[in-house]
Structure 1
Amino acid sequence: MAKSNDGEIALPFPILIGDIGGTNARFALLIDAFAAPREFPTIQTAQFDTIDDALQRCILDTTSIQPRSAILALAGPIQGDEVPLTNCDWVVRPREMIANLGFEDVLLVNDFEAQALAVASLSESDREQIGGGAETYAASRAVLGPGTGLGVAGLVHAQRTWIPVPGEGGHIDIGPRTERDYQIWPFLEPIEGRMSAEQLLCGRGILNIYHAVSAADGRETPLETPAAVTSAALAASDDAAVETVSLFSTYLGRVAGDMAMIFMARGGVYLAGGIPQKILPALRRPEFRAAFEDKAPHNELLRSIPTYVVTHPLAALAGLAAFARMPDRFGVATEGRRWQK
Structure 2
Amino acid sequence: MSDPVLVADIGGTNVRFAIAEAAGGAIAISKPQNFRAEDFETIRDAADAYLESVEAKPKRACFAVAAPVKTAEIKFTNSHWRFQPKEIETALRLDGLRVVNDFYALAAGVDFMPADAFVTVKDGKPDTGAPVLVIGPGTGLGQALIVPTPDSGRVIVATEGGHVSFAPRTDEEFEIKKFIAREHPRVSVERILSGRGLVNIHRALCAVEGTQRVSLQANEITKAAIEGAYPIAVKAVDMFCTILGRVAGDAVLATGARGGVVLGGGILPKIKDVFLNSDFVEHFTEKGRMSEYVGAAPVKMIITEEAALYGAAASLQLN
* Fold shared by both chains (TM-score > 0.5): yes
1:129 aligned to 107, 114, 120, which one? 120
Query: Is 2:108 aligned against 1:117?
Result: yes
Distance verdict in 2 for CA 1:145–1:186, change over 3 Å: same
Distance verdict in 2 for CA 1:141–1:212, change over 3 Å: same
The Cα of 1:179 is off from its aligned counterpart by 2.5
1:313 aligned to 305, 315, 318, which one? 305
1:220 aligned to 195, 198, 212, which one? 212
Distance verdict in 2 for CA 1:291–1:53, change over 3 Å: same
SS of alignment partner, residue 70 of structure 1: strand
* 1:255-308: CA deviation from partner (whole Å, max 9, x where unpaired): 111222233222211111111112222322352111111223311111111111
- For residue 71 of structure 2, what is the amino acid of its counterpart? G
The answer on whether the counterparts of 1:130 and 1:283 sit within 8 Å (CA) in structure 2 is: no
Query: Is 2:101 aligned against 1:89?
Result: no
Q: Which runs of 5+ in 1 are unaligned?
A: 1-11, 333-341
| Alignment of structure 1 residues 25-40 onto 2, 5 Å | 25-30=15-20, 33=23, 36-40=28-32
Aligned counterpart, 1:231: 223
Q: Which runs of 5+ in 2 are unaligned?
A: none
Query: Is 2:7 aligned against 1:17?
Result: yes
The answer on whether the counterparts of 1:206 and 1:248 sit within 8 Å (CA) in structure 2 is: yes
2:64 aligned to 42, 59, 73, which one? 73
Aligned counterpart, 1:154: 145
Moved more, 130-139 or 270-279: 130-139
User: Which structure has more helix as a fraction of its residues?
Assistant: 2
Aligned counterpart, 1:9: none
* 1:13-67: CA deviation from partner (whole Å, max 9, x where unpaired): 33211111111111112356468333232111111111112112222x2344321
Distance 1:57 1:132 in 2: 43
Distance verdict in 2 for CA 1:200–1:135, change over 3 Å: same
The Cα of 1:191 is off from its aligned counterpart by 5.6
SS of alignment partner, residue 219 of structure 2: helix
Aligned counterpart, 1:169: 161
Aligned counterpart, 1:336: none
Percent of aligned positions that are identical: 34
* 1:317-338: CA deviation from partner (whole Å, max 9, x where unpaired): 11223344xx2xx4x5xxxxxx
* 1:162-188: CA deviation from partner (whole Å, max 9, x where unpaired): 211112221111121112222433223
Query: Is 2:254 aligned against 1:254?
Result: no
| Alignment of structure 1 residues 279-318 onto 2, 5 Å | 279-318=271-310
2:170 aligned to 154, 178, 189, which one? 178
1:142 aligned to 114, 133, 141, which one? 133
Aligned counterpart, 1:197: 189
SS of alignment partner, residue 144 of structure 2: strand
The answer on whether the counterparts of 1:156 and 1:263 sit within 8 Å (CA) in structure 2 is: no
Distance 1:100 1:221 in 2: 49
Distance 1:32 1:121 in 2: 10
* 1:68-101: CA deviation from partner (whole Å, max 9, x where unpaired): 1111111122123322223212222122123322
The answer on whether the counterparts of 2:59 and 2:93 sit within 8 Å (CA) in structure 1 is: yes
Distance verdict in 2 for CA 1:172–1:190, change over 3 Å: farther
1:271 aligned to 263, 284, 289, which one? 263
The answer on whether the counterparts of 1:223 and 1:229 sit within 8 Å (CA) in structure 2 is: no
Distance 2:123 2:5 in 1: 39
